[in-house]
Amino acid sequence: MESLTPASKSSTSSNILSVSVLTALAVGALGATVALAATAISRKTTTNTSAEKAVPLPCAPIGSKFVTLPGSGINLRYTDSDDKATENSRPDDETSVKQLTLLMLHGFAGVLETWELMTPQILELYNTAGSKVKVRVVALDLVGSGFSDKPIGTDFDYTLRSQGKVVSEFISVLGLSNVVIVSFSAGTVVGAAVATEQHDLSQSESDEVAPVVGLVFAGGCLFRAKSSFYSKRWLKPIFHWVTAKLMTDRKQSLAKFHHPAHAERVLTDDLVEHFVAPTRLPNFNAALVETVMAKEAPYEELVDKLLSPPSTANKAAANPLPMLFVWGNEDTYKPLPQLQIDSIRQKLDAINASSSPQQQQQQRIVETKELEECHHYIQHDQPEALAKEIFLFVNKNVKLQ
């Protein structure tokens, strides 16, 4: 073993001292940086807090209605065209009137105003067609979105299936009947979840008449698998940061999912403000993060259940539940529309091949449609075309009770 000479000892001591000094300086610099950053953040937080206190929280727009669901205790905001529909669309022969309710469900981080361009179109179609159907359009802010409650630290887990349970309770509390659920993007999973609860009812011996009579899935994400990776708890602070960044420019984030030919016309300051205002409410970002991180069972299981024929014949299952899938032909949301259409056809072929003749008579009515010059937000890009497709589909396939 080599021994250290006095000279080498001195050199080594000097090196050790140098390393110690450098280490101390590095630690000191890092500490100073952290301290300065903490001070800056603290000052910024204090400044922001003061500014936020000076700015009043946004209020729900005129025409908003609220209902507290007794089962969940959740307060939901909705709009209802009932008065308008009664005034404009009521036929002369009141005894022949049948009520049709279109229940509109928005997508991820959406608001019920996403339907405001299409609602007048659908009401006008029924009005001018001389229909004997009284149309009621009810649009809803889902839990955590818009001006509905945003519970944090409660039993509500923000899965889309849990959202479906809340919507089912909403339908029951309002006493809605002959409901056609019109849903968009992530809302299509919520709509499917509501319908599968009804499907479960159809498998029982209950004579209860189910309220949902049809489904419209616009820009659906029923075939998009959600990775369990998003549920990892260590990602939570990252998601909070990303969410805050995304919410700073809603117009830009919305524009990415609109057809260029329509984006400038559609994304007016008023419409964008409808999306922006709720982001200033307490718990908005936290609820959004909970939604992102919620652990979901495969969405496609809902499709399989809805496409399968009922195993029993009762009032709830007397009429097959018709479904309309609509996409924009330039939607880049994966999987692409054609892949989703192929998947639906394959599922139907497989079900037909394994079903009895009686079950085949009860097969679900499924239609698919792609709209031209249209991106993900169909109800914004092509509100007139979407309203027409819904009108034609309902008149052709939906049997009102």
Query: DSSP string covering 205-274, please?
Result: S--PPPSEEEEEEES--TT-PPPGGGG-GGGHHHHHHHHHHHGGGHHHHHHTTS-HHHHHHH--HHHHHH
pTM strictly above 0.75: yes
- The edge-to-edge listing of strands for the beta sheet with 65-68 is 65-68, 75-80, 133-140, 98-105, 179-184, 212-218, 323-328, 366-371
CATH architecture of 65-226+297-397: 3-Layer(aba) Sandwich (3.40)
* pLDDT of res. 312: 57
| First-to-last C-alpha distance (Å) of the chain | 97
CA distances from 360 to 58, 192, 205, 259, 307 (A): 52, 21, 20, 39, 11
pLDDT in tens, 159-189: 999 999 999 999 999 999 999 999 999 999 9
Other CB atoms within 10 Å distance of the CB of residue 354:
9
Rounded to whole angstroms, the Cα distance separating 252 from 41 reads: 27
Whole-number percent of the chain with pLDDT over 90? 63
Which residue in 152, 101, 157, 139 sits closest to 295, CA to CA?
Answer: 157
Name the band, by pLDDT with cuts 50, 70 and 90, for residue 354. confident
124-145 pLDDT per residue, tens: 999 887 778 899 999 999 999 9
Q: Which residue has the higher pLDDT, 338 or 198?
A: 338
Q: In the prediction, which pLDDT does 246 show? A: 85
Q: What is the pLDDT of residue 319?
A: 58
